[in-house]
Amino acid sequence: MTRILQIPRVWGASAAAGLALWLAGAALGCSGGDGSSERGREQPGSGAGGFGNANPGGSGGSGGSGNFGNSGRSAAGAAAAPVAPPDDQACAEVSAGAELEPVHLAFAFDVSGSMGKGDEEWHDKALKWDPVVLATRTFFDDPASAGLTASLTFFPADGDEDERCVEEPYTMPDVAMTPLPSAEFGAAIDAITPMSEDDWRGGTPTAWVMRGTLAFVTGYREQHPGRYAIVLVTDGYPQGCDEADDTIEAVTVEAEAALATEITTYVIGVANPPIDDAPDTVSDLHSIALAGGTEQAFLIDTGDPAQTSSAFTGAVDAIRGVTISCTLVIPPAPDGRAFDKERVGVSYESGAGAMTALRYEPACGGDDVWHYDDPADPSQIVLCDATCERVKSDPAAQLGVRFACEQLLSVD
């Protein structure tokens, strides 16, 4: 018998909205052995309580043996040794929680006059600002974005060159990291939308907003582990600041610095409408995306508002899809029991109800395979690329992680 615990975690990709994550817990620490493939895991928090049956649609059932009251540490703070279960509980079933690695997107959004001030024919608000804002709001409001967390920083800052061409205004986002979907982003966009030509801000301090956003993300990540990416939305090249500090080359340096700390940078470039004499201000944005580890920028044509909004939606959907984590944190063994990395099974149930047992394959060869992040001392289960894409494309898919009494795999 296997106990199933539903984990309220949504993948976030539009094609995989509502993907439920399930954890099936069976026996842990079933035999004494020599401990060669076992290690203790620290337990979360204090407070007792076991799990009953939690199959969806079923009854509560009786309580399990998963008491989480033992913190797994001694009074002095040292890690406690794994606790061997009594003989009559040698294979008592237990359940434990797990969740996917959280994903955080830090948006830097260009609100300069070239997005719609009207001082040039190609600075047309109806062709650039309006459709881009519509698609951006849709992303932040979309239930398919559930499971993601995002922040939003507008640039340039309101003020003269000394106030907008520095890092400080961009180290605190206009909308803090917030779980999606959320109406806070739409409200912030409404508040900043210019009501007249004089309300538009001047300059495009792209390098400075990258520096400030990276500083914010770096500090925030210290207290909130997970996967992070910067999403730069702009319609032009850096300008309006000291050219030595605000160039495409300067922005690529910041994107490279972010990538060195495993923070990728995505770029969405909003092109000028196809009007005579309208300059190309987006082609060089590809170099920023390449430096940020995302190969090339998403360049959005303007001229037809409906097509522009649709193309922008496609870009953010693509970013949403590729940033979704296919990493599952291995849950701690309840009651301080030993974890055996060779007694773990992973399964996938499609929305149509077809069950597939995934194979452990360190080299990711073949279909339906997974591997540990570190075979010597695993803490995460990682779906291989093809398996990840298959699971993300199935809105009703379920993943199961089973801790068995018998050896299921061999980890070298």
| Per-domain boundaries in the chain | 3-100+326-403, 103-323
Taking alpha carbons only, the member of 146, 118, 121 closest to residue 9 is 146
Q: What's the pLDDT band for 83 if we cut at 50, 70, 90?
A: very low
Strand partners, 32: none
Pick the CATH number of 103-323 from 1.10.150.20, 3.30.450.20, 3.40.640.10, 3.40.50.410: 3.40.50.410
pLDDT of residue 65 exceeding 50, the answer is no
- Higher pLDDT pick, 357 / 292: 292
Q: What's the pLDDT band for 244 if we cut at 50, 70, 90?
A: confident
pLDDT at 321: 74
Query: Residues with Cβ < 8 Å from 404, sequence gap 6 or more?
Result: 26, 27, 343, 344, 345
Q: What's the pLDDT band for 100 if we cut at 50, 70, 90?
A: low
Amino acid at 39: R
Q: Are 139 and 169 in contact (CB under 8 A)?
A: no
pTM of the model: 0.68
Q: Is the dihedral of CA 270, 276, 277, 280 positive or negative?
A: positive
pLDDT at 370: 94
Q: Which helix (H) or strand (E) element contains residue 66?
A: none
pLDDT at 332: 67
pLDDT of residue 112 exceeding 80, the answer is yes
Edge-to-edge strand ranges of the sheet holding 20-25:
3-7, 20-25, 398-403, 344-349, 355-360, 369-372, 380-383, 327-329
Q: Are 371 and 388 in contact (CB under 8 A)?
A: no
pLDDT of residue 200 exceeding 90, the answer is yes
